[in-house]
């Protein structure tokens, strides 16, 4: 649905000094694509994490698949559904999500957790659908709602994810 107080053309990124979205937040910024290579927020090159928060707007009403290449760990939620969970140490392979139905021209929540443990950091996320070939999410299909005042906490198997949207209030998702 429509967003209140939104900023289009990017997604919000919070960078943490520790793993699993812990430690202090060292930077908050926006990104115009999810293609982070040799990424080192505030000079942190190992053992840090980040989350990416916002909305994406598909152009077609059909199932979408998300692809992630991560060195080291990544989780992706679309519309509050965990569609990709690679939380063991990966080596830069591409992982494919469970497809999820999306509606054309409807802003849909996206939430990504990423952790770099060692070596070169990288995170690349793309999408595809029946009509759309695998590609980066276009900048004009990204937004973030600056009225968000609560974002998800780190997840464990027993945790639930809580998102706040100015449209729908608190939404809990059990993992």
- pTM, two decimals, is 0.80
User: What pLDDT does residue 7 have?
Assistant: 83
Mean pLDDT by 10 residues, the chain (175 residues): 69 88 86 83 77 95 96 92 86 89 96 85 93 97 72 41 39 39
Q: Which two structure tokens, joined as six digits, stand for 9?
A: 């053309």
Give, in order, the Cα–Cα distances in Å from 142 to each of 5, 8, 42, 168: 14, 6, 24, 19
Q: Which two structure tokens, joined as six digits, stand for 175?
A: 């993992």
Say how many C-beta atoms besides its own lie within 10 A of residue 117's C-beta: 14
């Amino acid at each position: 649905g429509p967003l209140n107080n939104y900023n289009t053309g990017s997604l919000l990124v919070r960078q943490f000094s520790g793993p699993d979205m812990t430690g202090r937040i060292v930077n908050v910024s926006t990104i115009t694509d999810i293609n982070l290579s040799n990424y080192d927020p505030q000079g942190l090159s190992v053992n840090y994490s980040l989350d990416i928060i916002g909305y994406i707007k598909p152009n077609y009403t059909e199932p979408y698949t998300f692809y992630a290449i991560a060195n080291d760990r990544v989780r992706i939620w679309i519309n509050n559904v965990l569609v990709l969970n690679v939380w063991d140490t990966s080596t830069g392979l591409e992982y494919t999500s469970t497809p999820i139905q999306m509606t054309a021209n409807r802003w849909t929540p996206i939430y990504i957790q990423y952790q770099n443990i060692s070596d070169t950091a990288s995170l690349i996320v793309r999408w595809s659908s029946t009509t759309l070939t695998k590609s980066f999410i276009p900048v004009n299909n990204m937004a973030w709602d600056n009225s968000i005042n609560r974002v998800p906490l780190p997840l464990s198997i027993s945790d639930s994810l809580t998102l706040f949207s100015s449209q729908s209030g608190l939404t809990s998702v059990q993992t």
